[in-house]
Structure 1
Amino acid sequence: MSAFSAARSILTSLHEVMAARTHAQAKLNQVVEIIGESLHSEVCSIYLLREGMLELYATRGLNQAAVHVTRLGVGEGLTGAIAQNIETLNLDEAATHPEFQYRSETGEENFHSFAGVPIVRRERAIGVLTIQHVDPRKYEEVEIEALQTVAMVLAELINNAGLADEEGLGGSTEARTGQESLDGLKLVAGLAIGEAVFHQPRIQIEQTVAEDIEAERQRVYLAFDRMREQIDTMTNQAEFGVDGEHGQVLETYKMFAYDEGWSRRINEAIDSGLTAEAAIERVQQRTRMRMRAISDPLLRDRMHDLEDLSNRLIRIVSGQLGTAAQKGLARDSILVAKNLGPAELLEYDKRRLKGVVLEEGSLTAHVVILARAMGIPVVGRLRNVRGLVRDGDTILVDGDAGKVTLRPGQGVTSAFQTRFTRSREKQASYAKLREVEPFTRDGKRINVMMNAGLRDDVAMLAMTGADGIGLYRTEFQFLVSAALPQRERQARLYRDVLEAANGKKVVFRTVDIGGDKSLPYLSSETAKLDENPAMGWRALRLALERDGLMKAQARALLEGAAGYELNVMFPMVSEPWEFDAAKDVFDQQLAWLKTRKAQLPSAIRYGVMLEVPSLAEMLDQLLPRLSFISIGTNDLTQFLFAADRANPMLAERYDWLSPSILRFLSRVVSNCEGEQVDLGVCGEMGGRRLEALALIGLGIRRLSITPAAVGQIKELVRKVDTREIGDAMDGWLASPPLDMRVALQAWAKAHSIEVD
């Protein structure tokens, strides 16, 4: 028996129950009997969320006296865990599960097997459907699938009867009044102000059980055709072009739209007896449950693309097409959404859309990549923001700090507007320095370079006046691709970047994947075991193990840089032999290209990122083999302090101006003096004015920073005398002040240097 034939058998009986003119309790009593008989299970029970507790509302097999008596808190016992996590449990021996709790009044001591699925409405659990069996056994996948389908239909019955808490888990979503500030995740930098517009009102499915399966199937076929036509049109009309990573994002999204596996699963759900809308929602629910079990952030983001398409498809098939994009934006707007797909963002009027706030979202999400290209500030991870804001509320978005202010008072709005104006004025003043070389007051040339990761980022070279790209993150091409990029495609990207750089230096860092940048198509069993992935099987370690990956990228870089100077940087080198092994891969590919008489780079320079502290102890051995070193302050600092930079509880322990990190950097500078090695700093530290001042004082003469910081750092450089700040730093390092940050700020103020 298939999952869908089992579900169809149950739904046929449930349809009659739901149509009957009996009260809700009697219907649910019949439901548990039908499910228990169909699945040959001694026990079937329904728990409903009532007044914040999960109440046993109907059962077959347990003690009837426990109905309306047994109540579990959310998260309490197996049933509470299912509701809290919105997950499915399937256990052959329930008592062995850490969340198991025995309730004597139910008489369930004789039952060993246990399976349960959440009853979900509006993405919130309003109850739990469970089955139990005397014999210890795992329930078959077909049985679990049938339970999940039935639970979806039950949600409609329960809601119509008003039996469960209306909002389910998560509390009231009633919008509040008064000013409220929220802290989220910085996704796309920038400032924005506008009125709240909800991206998409939730579509309510009015009917779940199908009357005519073939008619429902035809409705889905027509909806798929229309949706794919819309996607094709938007892909071709993307106003910022479809070349580069943005084009790859849209092509990956388009691939989902044409995925036969997805459409097949929806058709199978229709076979079980669901309407077209309910079938799409059923498959979407299953995807959401799987997403909750996935720790890989990139794979979760790709599944959000599929959710975006599901929302689009269900709107088409139901005829409820009214999104904010279709209705149009009447004024400057901040879009509010749980999450957003890339195609959905493209539908909005870019003149009116000023910012986006999301309940979810991550740095690697497709929509974030597109928003960055479009210059739209985005803040994510704002828990329940859709429940805290009303349509039309004023919202201030601070993408620089990851903060959002709802319904700001006049004083806060005025201060924000002043800051917004000042920011634009400063950017205008920095733009005037675009063609000005950054010399210090005592005539020292500081190289101010920029970091990049997308092909279109290279355009910022001319806009900012940066000296070059000191860090090109080649892994971005891998992150936005649905499969491992072919060597030819990699080579084409590298050549495009070099051509667009127009003679300025570009430093390509080989792929730094692993850790928080996992690829679903390139997994490692060892990586899955990493308790701390930031210090685990990632970057060069992973690339050397995956020698095919390293060889393909090496040849792509050599071919792409034909006729140009090629600068290659290896990430996360901890010992000299790792550099030698990586360079050997390039040497082998270079030799092979020479035998083919292929055009080669005009020069090749190799360097390392110094981010693992152990490498500093071996610099005397490695320096003769290097052309340059870039100190990666982001990872280096967290390794030195044993403080995960992603952990908010350790934020105060992650200080770039601690004497310990400054002494470490000073020692690296001293070790490189007199050597023919170009030493610089890559990372956010160099893009902050106060920290950049400290780095210049340590003797750092090359900074590679975010493009947005180039102008202000060039302006800072022109106010600094390296001898004065160098002498001050020597004194502070010899005898550290109580607070290095305060000391630096006081020095800067005394020398009329603005550092805030």
Structure 2
Amino acid sequence: MASFTLHGIPVSRGIAIGRAHLLAPAALDVRHYLIADEQVEAEVERLQQAIETVHRELQTIWRELPKDAPAELGAFIDVHALILSDPMIAEMPLDIIRTRYYNAEWALVTQIDELSAQFDEVEDAYLRERKADIQQVGERVLKVLTGTAALPEPDGGDDAAARMIVVAHDISPADMLRFKERAFGGFVTDLGGQNSHTAIVARSLDIPAVVGMYKASALIEQDDWLIIDGDAGVLIVDPSPKVMEQYRERHARLMRERKKLSRLKKMPAVTRDGTEIALLANIELPDDCPAAMEAGASGVGLFRSEYLFMGRTGSLSKLPSEDEQFESYRKAVLAMKGRPVTIRTLDIGADKPLDVAEQTALNPALGLRAIRFCLAEPQMFLEQLRAILRASAYGPVKLLVPMLAHGFEIDQTLAMIEQAKTQLRDAHVKFDPLVPVGAMIEIPAAALTLPLFIKRMDFLSIGTNDLIQYTLAIDRADHEVAHLYNPLHPAVLYLLSTTISIGAKYGVPVSVCGEMAGDTKLTRLLLGMGLREFSMHPAQLLSVKQEILNSDLDAIVPQTKKILRTLEHLAIAEAVERLRAM
């Protein structure tokens, strides 16, 4: 196969070299090859095992159906189980393997195609539509056969895993959590933007990634050699030996530079003129805390609690209980050993739905999400608030509320926090009654009415990802408009600098916990605006610290003021580059 190059959106820096693992729905178009006599029974057994696996999957789905599930759903699963047991599916493909020497996938598809053609000739419309059921059953078996239904367990341990590059049409935030448990060299997706949650998790895992590649999953074949250039947003498929050697050398150089950065772990983050800067970590789960501690974080600036809730299909009754949440929060607090942990209340909605199948809003980014969702589900919200407050008995905790925009939302939220405290007091449960409460500034309306927040809240945290999205009317998960997402837009810079300066004026701490905080290209710009608290993924912390150690605020502040008076994008970008070079 000739080498070719694909271009996408770079979202996580670095270089990865490895074999492709396609994480995509199995299609009814599979590889066709003939097998030898001695392989026949092994191939028959492989197909039989795949059919048995799907049988078990269907039984599990049937057992776990919610009590209020429609009766049709159970009937639908029963139909699939019957189709799977029918000799036309369970036995005929085995005969094809034995007589025609087809591989298992080819034999199964051949039989499904023949059955589908027979159903096309049936006059009864209802029976004719059963072709779709047969094809869906075939899809399930093929997913097991081809291994595209799940992430693999690589042979050879961590070294083999590091050489594996995942290729997918798209990966949901919930699916991305599985990467926490496995080591992979990198990944590429057809969809996604610079600040989609898939991209954010890639950066948190510190693995090279490129998204928005459109047809990558269709053009790349299983086990193709791939090179990801996460800096340039380039994917090289089946590279030549010369190109491979060049990238191996670059990869080795990057590893040496990363090793040098590790020497900064125990150094305080202080600018050249002596200004101390707080560097905090963003985490998704308590298990991320060791990485935060290892990177030298002075605390957790953002614990995204929604990752405890995601992947829970069905009604609210399936969400994590108060005790389950409490144990997770307590685990994080204890793991940080006295450093503060800022826990954000549930920020569900938009590209982080509880259940993708239940997402029905026309524009979920503007719908019932984050604090709106929590206020609409007061019992669920009170459970989470109690769990967070209970964790505060084990170490310093700060409570952060997302997507506030109205004074009445702030008042309702504070009233519910007081209600949760009262409930804990009545139950004689320990908690810190002085837990600081902060607001996310991520809606332009919030940034433009800061006095509402200043007089009610203990601290502010700017969520730049959503602030940019809402200011520029850009869906950050939509690859078709991802190129318009611009953190250096003058309107975004105005809202950022205004929030930071007003917070400083009134003595209310302000941090940035969005992706801008971890972007070393913007570190000096944020310092020049007056930001003194950055929160980012642990993997980004040492690179940002290096920028801070080399920064002189006396030189940076005047240049930043000039940038904030500039309106033309190109002029802003050039000025930021000059700022980096100072």
* Shorter-chain TM band: 0.7 to 0.9
Instruction: Using the aligned pairs only, state the percent identity.
Output: 25
State the secondary structure of the residue aligned to 1:588: helix
RMSD: 3.7
Q: 1:307 to 1:564 in 2, by over 3 A?
A: farther
**3-state DSSP of counterpart to 1:357:** strand
1:268 to 79, 82, 93: 82
Mapped to 2, the partners of 1:579 and 1:431 lie a distance apart of 41
- Amino acid aligned to 1:396: I
Q: 1:221 to 1:466 in 2, by over 3 A?
A: closer
The alignment partner of 1:180 has SS state of strand
Q: Deviations over 1:138-177 (max 9, x none)?
A: xxxxxxxxxxxxxxxxxxxxxxxxxxxxxxxxxxxxxx51
Q: 1:515 aligns with which of 319, 337, 350?
A: 350
Distance 2:4 2:32 in 1: 31
Kindly state the Cα deviation for residue 560 of structure 1 after the two structures are TM-superposed: 2.7
1:619 Cα deviation from its structure 2 partner: 1.6
- Number of residues of Structure 1 aligned to a counterpart in Structure 2: 491
Match in the other structure for 2:422: 591
CA deviations over 1:576-634 (Å, ceiling 9, x no partner): 22122112112101101101211113640100110011112322132122111011111
Aligned to 2:321: 486
How far does residue 699 in structure 1 lie from its aligned partner after superposition? 0.3
Could you tell me whether the CA contact under 8 Å between 1:669 and 1:698 is conserved in 2?
A: yes
Q: Distance in 2 between matches of 1:484 and 1:384?
A: 36
8 Å CA contact 1:565–1:602 kept in 2: the answer is: no
- Pairs within 5 Å for 1:239-638: 264-270=78-84, 274-276=88-90, 310-311=141-142, 315=145, 339-342=148-151, 344-345=152-153, 349-353=157-161, 354-366=163-175, 368-376=176-184, 377-381=186-190, 385=216, 388-389=219-220, 393-398=224-229, 403-410=234-241, 412-482=243-313, 483-520=318-355, 523=358, 528-530=360-362, 532-601=363-432, 603-638=434-469
- The Cα offsets for residues 95-140 of structure 1, whole Å up to 9 and x where unpaired, read as xxxxxxxxxxxxxxxxxxxxxxxxxxxxxxxxxxxxxxxxxxxxxx
Q: 1:408 to 1:486 in 2, by over 3 A?
A: same
Which runs of 5 or more structure 1 residues have no equivalent in the other structure?
1-175, 207-215, 232-252, 286-305, 316-322, 324-336, 752-756
Contact 2:22/2:167 (CA < 8 Å) preserved in 1?
Answer: no
Using the size of structure 1 for normalisation, the TM-score is: 0.58
CA contact (8 A) 1:563 1:599 kept: no
Matched residue, 1:153: none
Taking the aligned partners of 2:241 and 2:49, their CA distance within structure 1 comes to 52
Q: 1:4-40 CA deviation, whole Å, 9 max, x = no partner? A: xxxxxxxxxxxxxxxxxxxxxxxxxxxxxxxxxxxxx
Residue in structure 1 matching 2:580, options 738, 742, 748:
748
- Distance in 2 of aligned mates of 1:310 and 1:448: 49
CA distance in 2, matches of 1:739, 1:255: 59
The 1-side partners of 2:265 and 2:59 are apart by: 39
Structure 1 distance, partners of 2:343, 2:80, is 44
Task: Call closer, same or farther: CA 1:710–1:270 in 2, change over 3 Å.
Answer: closer
User: Do the aligned partners of 2:18 and 2:165 also contact (CA within 8 Å) in 1?
Assistant: no
Q: Secondary structure at the match of 2:158?
A: coil
Contact between 1:484 and 1:521, CA under 8 Å: does it hold in 2?
no
For 1:433 and 1:257, locate their aligned partners in 2 and report how far apart those are by CA, in whole Å. 54
Q: Show CA shifts across 1:443-494 (max 9, x none).
A: 1111111111022211111221112111110000111334311221111111
| Equivalent-residue separation in structure 2 for 1:472 and 1:375 (angstroms) | 22
Cα distance between partner residues in 2 of 1:624 and 1:220: 67
Partner SS for 1:647? coil
1:704 CA drift (Å): 0.8
Offset of residue 270 of structure 1? 4.6
Question: 2-side partners of 1:618 and 1:312: how far apart?
Answer: 52
Confirm or deny: 8 A CA contact 2:282 2:538 kept in the other structure: yes
Q: In the aligned structure 2, how far is the partner of 1:255 from the partner of 1:429?
A: 50
Change beyond 3 A, Cα 1:509–1:348: farther
CA deviation after TM superposition for structure 1 residue 435, in Å: 0.9
> Following superposition of structure 1 onto structure 2, how do residues 665-684 of structure 1 map, counting pairs within 5 Å?
665-684=496-515
Amino acid at match of 1:181: L
Q: How far apart are the structure 1 equivalents of 2:3 and 2:357?
A: 48
Q: Distance in 2 between matches of 1:411 and 1:222?
A: 41
Pick which of 352-361 and 424-433 moved more: 352-361
Corresponding residue of 1:96 = none
CA contact (8 A) 2:280 2:536 kept: yes
Q: What TM-score results when the alignment is normalised by the length of structure 2?
A: 0.75
Greater relative contact order, per chain length (Cα 8 Å cut-off, separation 6+): 2
1: CA distance between counterparts of 2:478 and 2:384? Answer: 33
- 1:497 maps to amino acid: A
* Shift in alpha-carbon separation, 1:588–1:391, aligned structure 2, 3 A: closer
Query: Larger C-alpha radius of gyration, 1 or 2?
Result: 1
2-side partners of 1:590 and 1:358: how far apart? 47
Contact 1:451/1:704 (8 A) holds in 2 = yes
